[in-house]
Amino acid sequence: MQTVLNLLEVEPIRLLISFGAVLFLVLNLAAILTMAERKVSGYIHLRYGPNRVGPRGLLQPAADVFKLFTKENVSPGRSDLWVFLGAPIAMFIPAALVWLVVPFAPDAVVADLNVAILFFVAITSIGALGVVMAGYGSRSAFSLLGALRGAAQMISYEVPLILSLLGVVMLTGSLSLVDVVQAQGDTIWTWYFLPQLPMFITFYISGIAEVKRVPFDLPEGESEIVGGFMIEYSGMTWALIQAAEFASMAVISAITVTLFLGGWQPPLPFLDLGPFNWVWFGIKTALIMFTFQWIRWSVPRLRMDQLMDLGWKVLVPMTLIWLFVTAGLMLLFPSLGA
């Protein structure tokens, strides 16, 4: 037993095992989130949602996954096969990779990089590549439009997303996510979402845009371009795209919690659970994801030009102004900085 625990201390083995655990979590997360999505939508729609498969319908995602496993995998006759089949993988890998730097608890992080925020920014922006590959590979007017929309949207919203991170980086003075969480302290009013409120809102909105959910789901646009870039995918490739979407949604929630809502820190000092502080992280992430779903079922979709207006004319100026305000305040009161 002791040897096994010692083995965990050895760096490459620890990394591999913890990465395996994270991958397992991510893959299951997609299933759990589809179920949550259907249940939440059910309650918003005044209906039950799945309740026949297993207790209270909890085995529904299992049925969906096994069905998709055995579904025929169609690729259109004129598609660019390698690009077509590579796209879901190119979408899934970045979504899963970002989990490497998410700190679940003080010691529970796969890789505590000192450039974790840069890593997050770099990896998420690869996701747009997968969308473009899917749209191009499918050879369909609908998916091409979806891919163009997706690329434009994800690249545009990358800018406010990164700019809104900078306030936190300035306050912390570090690019490590563990440092960011530790700098926020264990009381709810010292978390960064209060001093950085405009940045928090910007990050939240551009986060929704980054993961392509309503009201920013233009690349999919079910009632316009019938699923957009994923219109031609079936079976497992489609499931992989869905898994990537849900994983990236979860990762954006997790990063929001880490940067602005104090990560694993309890809201008040006496609620400190010690080694079980990851429960706080889980609760906060779930809450953010619930708000994503709440928005999903409540508002209509924007149009492309309005989306660009919002991104470039509202969010970017707002973050830039607040960046200068933060910098000025830090110059005036040096105690603010870490």
Partner 1 sequence: MGVMQQFNEPNLITTSTDKLFNWARKNSLWPLQFGLACCAIEMMSTGMAHNDLDRFGAGFFAASPRQADVMIVSGTVSTKMAERMTRLYEQMPEPKWVIAMGACAISGGPFLDGYSVLMGADRVIPVDVYVPGCPPRPEALIFGVMTLQKKIERDQQVGYERPLPALVDEDGTINEYLPEREYTGISEGKAPRLEGIRPLKRTYVFEREGMPPAAQTDVGWVPPEVKKRLKEEAKARKAAEAEASGDGAATKTEENA
Partner 2 sequence: MLGEERRAEHEGALTEPPSSRLVSPDIRDEFGLETIDMNMGPQHPAMHGLLRLILELDGETVVRCDPVMGYLHRCQEKIAENRMYPAVIPMTDRLDYFANMHNEHGYCLAVEDLLDVEIPPRAEYIRVLMCELMRLASHIPSIGFLMLELGAFTPILYAFRERERIQSIFEAVTGARMMFHYIRIGGVKADLPPDIPQKIWDYIESLEAHFQRDFVDLIQDNEIFISRTRNVGKMSQEQAVEMGVTGPALRCTGVDFDVRLDYPYSVYPELQFEVITDTAGDVEASYRVRIAECLQSIQIIKQCLEQMPEGEVLGDTGRRIRPAEGEGFGRVESPRGEYAVHVVSDGSDTPYRVHYRDPSFCNMQLLQEIVPGHYLPDIMPIMGLIDPVSGGWDK
Binding site residues, partner 2, CB under 8 A: 41, 44-47, 141-142, 145, 214-215, 217-218, 221-226, 297-306
118: left (phi over 0), alpha (psi -120 to 50) or beta: alpha
Give 14-63 as a DSSP string: HHHHHHHHHHHHHHHHHHHHHHHHHHHHHHHTTS--S-SSSGGGTTHHHH
User: Least distance from C-beta 45 to partner 2, angstroms?
Assistant: 4
Tokens (6 digits) for 71: 């579904």
- Owner of token pair 């264990």: 186
- The DSSP call for residue 311 is I
Which of partner 1, partner 2, none interacts with 235 (beta carbon under 5 to 8 A by kind)? Answer: partner 1
HSE-CB for 110 with a 13 A CA cutoff? 20
Which of partner 2, partner 1, none interacts with 221 (beta carbon under 5 to 8 A by kind)? Answer: partner 2
Residue 145 or 230 having the CB closest to partner 1: 230
User: Least distance from C-beta 82 to partner 2, angstroms?
Assistant: 24
Which of partner 1, partner 2, none interacts with 232 (beta carbon under 5 to 8 A by kind)? Answer: partner 1
Assess contact for 133 and 222: CB atoms under 8 A: no
User: Least distance from C-beta 141 to partner 1, angstroms?
Assistant: 12
Tokens (6 digits) for 124: 């998420």
Side chain identity, residue 34? T
Which of partner 1, partner 2, none interacts with 234 (beta carbon under 5 to 8 A by kind)? Answer: partner 1
User: Least distance from C-beta 226 to partner 1, angstroms?
Assistant: 5
What are the distances in angstroms from CA 233 to CA 56, 95, 255, 293? 30, 19, 29, 24
Which of partner 2, partner 1, none interacts with 303 (beta carbon under 5 to 8 A by kind)? Answer: partner 2
Spatial distance between the Cα atoms of 169 and 175, rounded to a whole number of angstroms: 6
User: Least distance from C-beta 62 to partner 2, angstroms?
Assistant: 25
Side chain identity, residue 272? D
Assess contact for 167 and 260: CB atoms under 8 A: no
Site for partner 1, rule CB under 8 A: 38, 42, 45-53, 57, 59-60, 62-67, 69-74, 222-223, 226-227, 230-235, 238
Assess contact for 180 and 258: CB atoms under 8 A: yes
User: Least distance from C-beta 39 to partner 1, angstroms?
Assistant: 10
Listed residue (68, 238, 230) closest to 137, CA to CA: 230
Residue 13 or 44 having the CB closest to partner 2: 44
User: Least distance from C-beta 304 to partner 2, angstroms?
Assistant: 6
Which of partner 2, partner 1, none interacts with 297 (beta carbon under 5 to 8 A by kind)? Answer: partner 2
Which of partner 1, partner 2, none interacts with 31 (beta carbon under 5 to 8 A by kind)? Answer: none
Residue 52 or 303 having the CB closest to partner 1: 52
